[in-house]
Amino acid sequence: MTLHGLPYKPESLYYDGKVQAPSGEYPWTIEDPSTAQPLVQLIPSSTDDVDKAMDSAQKAFLDWSGTCYIERSRILRRAAEIIRKRNDELAEVETRNTGRPFSETSAVDIPSGADVLEFYANLVGSGGLNGETTRLRDDAWVYTTKEPLGVCVGIGAWNYPLQIALWKSAPCLAAGNTMIYKPSEFTPLHGAELAAIYTEAGLPPGVFNVINGNGSIGDYAVRHERTAKVSFTGQVSTGQKVASAAGLGTKYTTMELGGKSALIVCGDAPLELAVDAAMMANFYSTGQVCANGTRVFVPESRKAAFEVLLLNKMQFIRMGDPMDPATNFGPLANGIHFEKVRDYLVHGSVHDKATLLCGGSDAQPAMRTSDDPKWREGFWIDPTVFTDCHDDMKIVQEEIFGPVLCILTYKTIEEAVKRANATNFGLAAGVITSDINQAHRIVSQLQAGITWINSWGESPAEMSVGGWKLSGLGVENGQLGIEAWVQNKSTLVDMSGQIATVFAET
The yes-or-no answer on residue 168 being catalytic is yes
- How many CB atoms sit inside 10 A of residue 48's CB? 11
DSSP secondary structure of 238-296: HHHHHHHHHHHTT-EEEEE-----EEEEPTTS-HHHHHHHHHHHHHGGGG--TT---EE
Which residues in 37-196 belong to E strands, given as ranges?
A: 37-42, 133-137, 140-148, 151-155, 178-182
Element containing residue 453 per DSSP (H, E): strand 450-453
CB of 153 to ligand NAD, least distance (A): 8
Asked if 156 touches ligand NAD (CB under 6 A), the answer is yes
Residues numbered 451-480 forming contacts with ligand NAD, rule: CB under 6 A:
467, 472
What torsion do the CA atoms of 105, 108, 109, 110 make, to the nearest 10 degrees?
A: 90
184 binds ligand NAD (CB under 6 A): yes
| Stretch binding ligand NAD (CB under 6 A), from 9-17, 99-107, 116-124, 213-221 | 213-221
- Contact flag: residue 234 with ligand NAD (CB under 6 A): yes
List C-alpha distances in Å: 126 to 61, 71, 424, 481. Answer: 22, 12, 39, 16
Question: For the window 339-378, what string marks contact with ligand NAD as x by the rule CB under 6 A?
Answer: ----------------------------------------
Between 130 and 244, CB nearer to ligand NAD = 244
- Does 294 bind ligand NAD (CB under 6 A)? Our answer is no
290 is catalytic: yes
Question: Site for ligand NAD (CB under 6 A): which residue of 11, 115, 185, 321?
Answer: 185
Neighbours of 346 (CB within 10 A): 13
Start-to-end CA span in the chain (Å): 87
Applying CB under 6 A, among 102, 344, 401, 485 the residue interacting with ligand NAD is 401
377 within 8 A of 36, measured Cβ to Cβ? yes
157 sits near ligand NAD (criterion: CB under 6 A): yes
**What span, in angstroms and rounded, lies between the C-alpha atoms of 194 and 210?**
9
Q: Which of 31, 118, 193, 256 is catalytic?
A: 256
Q: How many residues bind ligand NAD (CB under 6 A)?
A: 29
Q: Is 89 a catalytic residue?
A: no
- DSSP 3-state of 71: helix
Q: How far is the CB of 55 from ligand NAD (least distance, A)?
A: 20
Which residues contact ligand NAD (rule: CB under 6 A)? 155-159, 182, 184-185, 214-215, 218-219, 222, 233-235, 238, 241-242, 256-259, 290, 399, 401, 427, 467, 472
Give the residue numbers marked as catalytic.
168, 256, 290, 476
